[in-house]
A and B are shown apart, each in its own frame.
Chain A
């Protein structure tokens, strides 16, 4: 028994060491190529921009995935319609902006609308299936399929972009030669930090957050202590969906909206929270950073001729983390 435990411990340590080694090699490789080793041309400003792209994309991933992980953490609902809520939120924001509504107001209204839609979805479809994970996941898949098809006749199949107001739709200079960076991406990063800090504060330092934490640890006991779990579930689903809608408008401004992005953002949310650990906010942060940076850096710094593997690399990340830590980086056993 002790021998087996020792072996497991050694294997675990070795796995951790291997993970660290791969990480170090990757970082060294990227930095070396950035400063001009291994046959690359030195280009520090490219490195900075690509890193910033990774961080801003991570910001968007975090906004979307934090809602996903919040819902899962408390309710054990794998909300497969989360990507559809993202896309629908973006489309609602697009329509509002097209109707000459102020961009920020449109952002807030679209997010609220998606929050309400999420709440209705939870109350009508999920509440009476509480505790039945598979059934709930299937219901949300059904909702996502219906939404995906319904959005095409209303919003078209072509890619559309939300045009941000003047100031947001420009770029800033860093004083790095001619390098300019889109303002909107920096705003997304800023909002992601703001949302992250607010969520952390709300969960760690408010009564409601305490209830959520208690609910994550032991739903039955929390309920038995007299907390109205149904209200908590409703509010959590509202916030989780709201974050998806918010991400949709920001994503539509930063990248574009198109059919299929519901699936791709659901997938990235899944990767983010599986890497980070389901239900953990810190996990979502680390997962989003890992995915965003790997996504952007690999496309540029993989050896020439292998850049087409950059898409695979994000899944390699997933496999790697799961192999090392099956519960994700911050997941509980």
Chain B
């Protein structure tokens, strides 16, 4: 009886939820489909505002918006990344921004991309944020050849190595490239020989693992165990418990909440994060600083030179923090999501400038301009290969205690000109998976 009542209630509830959801969606669409004159260029920004990577929303927003402020004459409407940017234009064409909100799942990213492209009618889409989303969007890009897709931070290798949509551009490289130098660092500097890999179970961590293995194993290292945990797992205690004994250390490939959960569990059990762990690129993010002191000395791979004293980087950091004074120092600039969304939007603006914002002929001139672009970004000089994936420098960065006791980063090594194939190690058929590449 109770259960019947409950079932009934739940059934009615779910239809209500759908109805309310639909109503809100219609209302939201009504806002963003405001009519605009024909010379307006519409850009959609797709990131995650729900799910495990919700915390990266304001980082990715701040990067994309700061590029509009810096290179397209935009003005921030307030002191935080959540505030809009107005007045941006390229070659006299005003830029109109629409936002898409995913939860790191491919179907949600695809639905949002469809909404932005087909309903809102954006010309260019910047995003998505996460690996599996990127594969889905790159496949969708093939169905929309007259639109241009510029990747945000999604880092699965297949996206540009096997899907290869001709109108999908990735200026930030893939997850394997972001690990360049780390395998060598583990083998030569830390003298690790036997490691375990612990990560979330989807394409981006697999790709990151591939990048590490690509250097570590040919050098003579061994991977004792790979532990893949489903995205959305709340309690990571048993994941940490599976790390085998007798290893020199482990590589952690997680993001957001999961990173905090693992680091906390490992440190509480008496493990030393600084000497027994290396971090993937999303692990090296200020959102994990809540773990505190145990992080001091933790190294990892990153496509952005976190904590670098190089002038291109420091002027980017100062400019960004000047644009968003309300956000604590270091919290935005210390993130690859900020940096790579900034690079993506900057590339879009530069490409548009080169062709005088001419998107005619199915955007072919604009796409050609993007393909040939050499981007002088805060994270170094970036060019695209024939698959429209970046050839870029990569960095080994370390979390350090600063003079005021808070945590920050420093860059300890630079690896120049990293390409997606690792000089032939990866190819279109070598897509990384749970147990590939072998070691």
Task: Output the least CB separation between B305 and chain A (Å).
Answer: 22
Cβ A53 vs Cβ B235 within 8 A: yes
Known A-B contacts A158-B287, A161-B260, A180-B269; the reply to A261 vs B234 at CB < 8 A is yes
Known A-B contacts A137-B13, A256-B264, A308-B228; the reply to A161 vs B269 at CB < 8 A is no
Cβ A256 vs Cβ B261 within 8 A: yes
User: CA separation between A333 and B4, bound complex, in Å?
Assistant: 9
Cβ A46 vs Cβ B9 within 8 A: no
Is A331's beta carbon under 8 Å from chain B?
A: yes
User: CA separation between A182 and B291, bound complex, in Å?
Assistant: 15
Could you say which residues of chain B place their CB within 8 Å of the CB of A326? 3-4
User: CA separation between A56 and B3, bound complex, in Å?
Assistant: 28
User: CA separation between A134 and B15, bound complex, in Å?
Assistant: 12
Task: Output the least CB separation between A274 and chain B (Å).
Answer: 8
Could you say which residues of chain B place their CB within 8 Å of the CB of A268? 234
Identify which of A156, A158, A264, A295 contacts B256 (C-beta below 8 A): A158
Identify which of A138, A157, A296 contacts B238 (C-beta below 8 A): A296
Q: Which of B1-46 contact A (CB under 8 A)?
A: 1-6, 9, 12-13, 16-17
Cβ B3 vs Cβ A278 within 8 A: yes
Cβ A279 vs Cβ B2 within 8 A: yes
Identify which of B241, B260, B287 contacts A50 (C-beta below 8 A): B241
User: CA separation between A53 and B240, bound complex, in Å?
Assistant: 11
The majority secondary structure among interface residues of chain B is: helix
Cβ A259 vs Cβ B290 within 8 A: no
**Would you give the 0/1 interface string for B232-265, flagging 1 where the beta carbon is closer than 8 Å to chain A?**
1111111101100100000000001101110011
Identify which of B230, B237, B245 contacts A185 (C-beta below 8 A): B237
Cβ B256 vs Cβ A171 within 8 A: no
Identify which of B57, B235, B245, B259 contacts A157 (C-beta below 8 A): B57
Cβ A295 vs Cβ B235 within 8 A: yes
User: CA separation between A112 and B1, bound complex, in Å?
Assistant: 34
Cβ B238 vs Cβ A278 within 8 A: no
User: CA separation between A285 and B54, bound complex, in Å?
Assistant: 32
Could you say which residues of chain B place their CB within 8 Å of the CB of A255? 234-236, 261, 264
Is B58's beta carbon under 8 Å from chain A?
A: yes
Q: Which of A279-308 contact B (CB under 8 A)?
A: 279, 295-297, 299-300, 305, 307-308
Is A328's beta carbon under 8 Å from chain B?
A: yes
Cβ A258 vs Cβ B232 within 8 A: no
Task: Output the least CB separation between A135 and chain B (Å).
Answer: 10
Cβ B233 vs Cβ A299 within 8 A: yes
Sort A-B residue pairs by CB-CB distance and give the 4 closest, nearest first. Answer: A158-B287, A159-B257, A158-B55, A182-B268
B interface vs A, CB < 8 Å?
1-6, 9, 12-13, 16-17, 50-52, 54-55, 57-58, 201, 228-230, 232-239, 241-242, 245, 256-257, 259-261, 264-265, 268-270, 287-288, 290-292, 434
Q: A160-B290, A182-B237, A260-B50 are in contact. List 12 more A-B contacts (CB 8 A).
A: A54-B238, A76-B5, A159-B259, A160-B260, A180-B270, A255-B264, A259-B50, A260-B52, A296-B237, A299-B229, A308-B201, A310-B233
A interface vs B, CB < 8 Å?
46, 49-50, 53-54, 56-57, 76, 78, 133-134, 137-138, 141, 156-161, 163, 169-171, 178, 180-185, 254-256, 258-261, 264, 268, 274, 278-279, 295-297, 299-300, 305, 307-308, 310-311, 326-328, 331-333
25 pairs, A vs B, C-beta closer than 8 Å: A46-B242, A49-B238, A54-B238, A137-B9, A158-B256, A158-B290, A159-B257, A159-B287, A159-B288, A159-B290, A161-B290, A161-B291, A171-B270, A183-B268, A254-B235, A255-B235, A255-B264, A259-B54, A261-B257, A295-B235, A296-B237, A299-B229, A299-B230, A326-B4, A328-B3
